[in-house]
Amino acid sequence: MDQDHTEYRAARDDEIEACVELQHQVFRPHEDDAPDRYRSYVRDDPSYRPGLSRVALVEGRIVSHLRIWERVLNVRGTTLKAGGVGSLLCLPEYRGRGIASGVLADAERFFLEEGYDLGLLFTIIGTPYYDNRGWTPLPLPTFSATPNSPLVEERVGRGVDLNLDDHLDVIRNIHRVECDSSTGSCERTATYWNDGPARLRGMFPRTGVEVDGRLVAYANWEDRPEGIWVTEAAAIEGCGAAIVTLAETVVSAASGGAIEGSLRRDNPLAACLGQMSEMSWSVHDEMMVKMTDWARLDSRLSSVGVDIGPAPPKSRSDTDSFWRVLFGCALTEDRDTVWWDRLGPCPPLFYSWADIF
Ligand SMILES: CC(C)(COP(=O)(O)OP(=O)(O)OC[C@H]1O[C@@H](n2cnc3c(N)ncnc32)[C@H](O)[C@@H]1OP(=O)(O)O)[C@@H](O)C(=O)NCCC(=O)NCCS
């Protein structure tokens, strides 16, 4: 309890329904099925455990909430356990009193106690709110493509609709290519592809390409009023012209509308769309990270021979440089820092849209 009599703590199981109703009210007030969605985030997620819903209570009433999502990130040859902050909210009549900041600080204490290597979030309110609370934005690539010339290359393979029973194992193998080509990608267990939250987000990919009966590439997207948003694409190395077949399926799904999305800049589907389209690249800066405990991070990374040294960054801008260098998205000025000397380059940052919570 703080001096304003606000209590910060984990939600009890019998308080989950109140948290569901708060999220419905604040995020999707006009959607009747929103409570099912928020309930499923907790009840149908095998990785959920008590403690991952954090709340603030004023005079016994829950007025603010966040949900912690556990994510395991591939970083420089090891995995880091991230505590992901989602669904941060405060009831309108209690805003502006620092209550959401208090829930965030409570979650950060939980990260420290529970041994998370870092905090992770994706903001929908811009970066300043979290930046002012010590979080560092990391830029992720986005693209916009307007197809103008069909490719004349020979098509290889045939498009197939994917389903979990037949394709999960091979999809997981193809997904590894994306993990190995980037820094920050999210590890996915077998259940992660089809748990409640994954089904609500349409995580399992829709379409793939088979060559000689073997699946070699897949893609997924969200339908939007103006076209499609490509959430993911992956291909085994050397599958060459099969990507043209994949790109044609994606172009046809857009039905002449916009093709936008977030892919690695050297993702094969992105390269293929680039050949048949006017393609422009940009960044979104929704991804943000925060330190939990330097000594812990040092020990995790040094176990695979990555030496960040015993002393944490000296200042906030030094902290920002550290994260950008570690995650493969260094700015020019970051190359003058000790972090660049110690860590050097690595594959570029990429965190799939499909893994955002
Ligand atoms: C964002 C939100 C959680 C803040 O709750 P709160 O208890 O008022 O937050 P605090 O009192 O800790 O902080 C107030 C700060 O939030 C800022 N803020 C509030 N709403 C904001 C918004 N939509 N965009 C950016 N900043 C916002 C205020 O300007 C104020 O800034 P300051 O610290 O520079 O003065 C609350 O406005 C809310 O529930 N919004 C709707 C849900 C939402 O968008 N959640 C964010 C998910 S990423």
Task: Determine if ligand 1 sits within 6 Å of the CB of residue 129.
Answer: yes
Cα(97) to ligand 1 centroid in Å equals: 10
Q: How are the residues of the chain apportioned to helix, strand and coil, as percentages rounded to the nearest 5?
A: 35, 30, 35
User: Which mutation among 19, 90, 133 tests ligand 1's pocket best, with the greatest number of atoms within 8 A of CB?
Assistant: 90
Question: Ligand 1 atom 35: the closest Cα is on which residue?
Answer: 96
Q: E-assigned strands of the chain? A: 6-10, 53-58, 61-75, 78-90, 118-122, 136-147, 158-161, 207-211, 214-224, 227-235, 258-261, 277-291
Q: What is the pLDDT of residue 78?
A: 97
Statement: residue 53 has pLDDT above 80 = yes
- Burial letters for 218-240: b for 16+ Cβ neighbours within 10 Å, e otherwise? bbbbeeeeebbbbbbbbbbeebe
In this predicted model, what pLDDT tens digit does every residue of 167-203 receive, in sequence order?
999 999 999 999 999 999 999 999 999 999 999 999 9
Q: Is the CB of 29 under 6 A from ligand 1?
A: no
Average pLDDT in the 289-303 region? 97
What are the structural domains of the chain?
Answer: 6-139+284-355 (3.40.630.30), 143-283 (3.40.630.30)
Q: With a 6 A CB cut-off, is 10 part of the ligand 1 pocket?
A: no
- The answer to whether residue 4 scores a pLDDT higher than 80 is no
Residue with the smallest CA separation from ligand 1 atom 30 is: 96
More confident residue, 206 or 153: 206
State the chain's mean pLDDT as an integer: 96
Buried/exposed 316-343: b ≥16 CB within 10 Å, e otherwise: eeebbbbbbbbbbbbeeebeebbbbeeb
Minimum CA distance residue for ligand 1 atom 9? 100
The pLDDT confidence band at residue 154, using thresholds 50, 70 and 90, is confident
Q: Residue 36 — pLDDT band, cuts 50, 70, 90? A: very high
Distance from the alpha carbon of residue 55 to the mean position of ligand 1, in angstroms: 15
Whether the predicted pLDDT of 337 surpasses 70: yes
Quick one: average pLDDT of 140-158?
86
What percent of the chain has pLDDT above 70? 99
pLDDT at 79 over 90: yes
Q: Is the CB of 63 under 6 A from ligand 1?
A: no
- For ligand 1, is residue 101 a contact (CB within 6 Å)? yes
Question: DSSP label at 49?
Answer: -
In which band, very low, low, confident or very high, does the pLDDT at 2 lie, cut at 50, 70 and 90?
A: low
- For the cut 80, the answer to whether the pLDDT of residue 3 exceeds it is no
Q: What is the band of 296 on the pLDDT scale with cuts at 50, 70, 90?
A: very high
Q: What is the pLDDT of residue 1?
A: 67
Q: Is 89 in the pocket of ligand 1 (CB under 6 A)?
A: yes
**Ligand 1 center to residue 89 CA distance, Å?**
8
pLDDT digits (tens, 9 = 90+) for 221-247: 999 999 999 999 999 998 888 999 999
Residue 160: pLDDT band with limits 50, 70, 90: very high
Determine the atom of ligand 1 nearest the C-alpha atom of 104.
12
Instruction: State if residue 77 touches ligand 1 by the CB under 6 angstroms criterion.
Output: no
